[in-house]
Amino acid sequence: MNFQNTREFAQELDRQDELAKYREEFIFPQVNGKNVIYFTGNSLGLQSKAAKKYVEEVMQDWGNLAVEGHFYADKPWWDYQERFCQPLSEIVGAKPTEVGVMNTLTVNLHLLMVSFYQPSSKKFKIICEEKAFPSDQYMFQSQVAFHAKSIGFDPKEAIVEIKRREGEHNIRLEDVLSKIEEVGEELALVLIGGVNYYTGQVFDMKTITEAGHKVGAFVGWDLAHAAGNIELKLHDWNVDFAAWCSYKYMNSGPGNASGYFIHEKHHNDTTLSRFAGWWGHNKERRFLMEPNFDPARSADGWQISNLPVLTLAPYLASVHMFAAIGMPKLIKKRDLITSYLEFILHEIDAEIEGTEFEIITPSNPNERACQLSVYLHGQGRALFEYLMKNGVITDWREPNVIRLAPVPLYSSFEDMYEFGQILKKGILG
């Protein structure tokens, strides 16, 4: 499409946008009496109007029914999580029995590593990406330290990071594959962010998963920046496990629950260790209070505690909205609005001397989703602060990168145009 950097053109794209009406379903913070231009749905998604209704429903049931709500609420609490399985399975490309919600992201990745990182003295290495999100790095370090002494391997050798090549911002697939081959039989686990939080790079999960399996490793994915953002086919890709937070693209609220996936091929595997609790016990027999753990033969078998229902309520509102729309439409708009933002950035960059906006996110549409990370050469933190003051909510990452994520559910094309104008003013004064 031949884009134009005019308000009329952006408004025309909004008129043609079949998802435009969903913007009304969200609450935008106000700056100078106007909706902000919100680019940080990759950090915390906006509150939907439905979220409050779902929470209020639980509050009312709690008030009216108290303990009886577990079984007699409209959406009974004891199996509240089952309402997620169908819609979530569509979002991440899984069978409904392969997904669940519980805890928070890093906690779930730790718990999944209990099952899928069982090192021996010969097979103990973990492949991850260089500069993974810090929480993942700390997780790897602590998992390795936890096992190293009893198994007797050198913790310093255990974590193998895939590096970017000199002068490049993104990791090459060929480098991931050759590292997997090089580590070979010593490789116990590959665990990478499916979409890199800093650059927005989307990894070829199918190919990497296959390569990991070829050398006998488990392969898992941190899908924090992927769930609700990109097409996923976790079942077909034969991924062993994955987890994601729900507060980014899935708009479930700050620090909210994590979704997780465990491939059905593992559901009956009793050799996998796991940390158990009564909510993972055989569902029909859960309330018999039996002494021995009999795990549910599905992803539910990894549940531990009864559910934080109030917390799950806004997440349920969100998955219902995603289910009503479907990922294909979101992805279609995502690609158009991201390309439009890219075009606007190039236009403004070309107009202004002395600046250079280097988009470090891959330009190949197969390797990016809705985030553009922009290196603002010639500009400093003052520009970021100007943007924030003028109603553009973005984030700053050292040394000089802003991340912009136009979210297809609630961002408009006119937002992109307006952002360009504010950016220009911020630079030219």
Please give the annotated binding residues for pyridoxal 5'-phosphate, written as ranges: 105-106, 133-136, 222, 225, 247, 278, 306
Quick one: 179 or 225, whose CB is closer to ligand PLP? 225
Contact in structure between 40 and 245 (CB atoms under 8 Å): no
What's the closest the beta carbon of residue 103 comes to ligand KYN, in angstroms? 14
- How many Å apart are CA 360 and CA 344, to the nearest integer? 16
Contact with ligand PLP (CB under 6 A): which of 10, 224, 257, 307? 224
What's the closest the beta carbon of residue 254 comes to ligand PLP, in angstroms? 10
- How many Å apart are CA 85 and CA 91, to the nearest integer? 10
Q: Which does 193 bind (CB under 5 to 8 A by kind): ligand PLP, ligand KYN, none?
A: ligand PLP
Output the CA–CA distances (angstroms, integers) from residue 285 to 288, 291, 292, 295, in the order listed: 5, 11, 11, 10
Name 193's bridge partners. 222
Residues that bind ligand KYN (CB under 6 A): 43, 133, 197, 224
Q: Which does 253 bind (CB under 5 to 8 A by kind): ligand PLP, ligand KYN, none?
A: none
- The answer to whether 137 contacts ligand PLP (rule: CB under 6 A) is no
Token pair, residue 239, equals: 């991924």
Quick one: 111 or 224, whose CB is closer to ligand KYN? 224
DSSP letters spanning 248-313: STT---TT--EEEEE-GGGTT-TTS-----GGGB-GGGGGG--SS--B-SSGGGG--S---HHHHH
- How many Å apart are CA 51 and CA 66, to the nearest integer? 21
What's the closest the beta carbon of residue 198 comes to ligand PLP, in angstroms? 9
Quick one: 227 or 345, whose CB is closer to ligand PLP? 227
Binding-site annotation, residues: 105-106, 133-136, 222, 225, 247, 278, 306
Half-sphere exposure of 8 (CA within 13 A, CB side): 0
Restricting to residues 231-260, name those near ligand PLP by CB under 6 A.
245
Those residues whose C-beta lies under 8 Å from the C-beta of residue 114, and which sit 6 or more positions away, are 273, 274, 275
DSSP H or E segment with residue 62: helix 49-65
Quick one: 105 or 215, whose CB is closer to ligand KYN? 105
From the list 132-140, 150-158, 358-366, 390-398, the region that binds ligand PLP by CB under 6 A is 132-140
Contact with ligand PLP (CB under 6 A): which of 87, 93, 100, 193? 193
From the list 148-156, 218-226, 405-413, 420-428, the region that binds ligand PLP by CB under 6 A is 218-226
Output the CA–CA distances (angstroms, integers) from residue 106 to 134, 141, 143, 178, 248, in the order listed: 11, 13, 12, 28, 14
Restricting to residues 95-114, name those near ligand PLP by CB under 6 A.
104-106
What's the closest the beta carbon of residue 41 comes to ligand KYN, in angstroms? 11
Helix, strand, coil percent values for the chain (each to nearest 5): 45, 15, 35
Q: Which does 106 bind (CB under 5 to 8 A by kind): ligand KYN, ligand PLP, none?
A: ligand PLP
State the residue number with the nearest CB to ligand PLP. Answer: 106
Eight-class DSSP state of 28: P
What's the closest the beta carbon of residue 128 comes to ligand KYN, in angstroms? 16
What residue ranges bind ligand PLP (CB under 6 A)? 104-106, 133, 135-136, 193, 197, 222, 224-225, 245
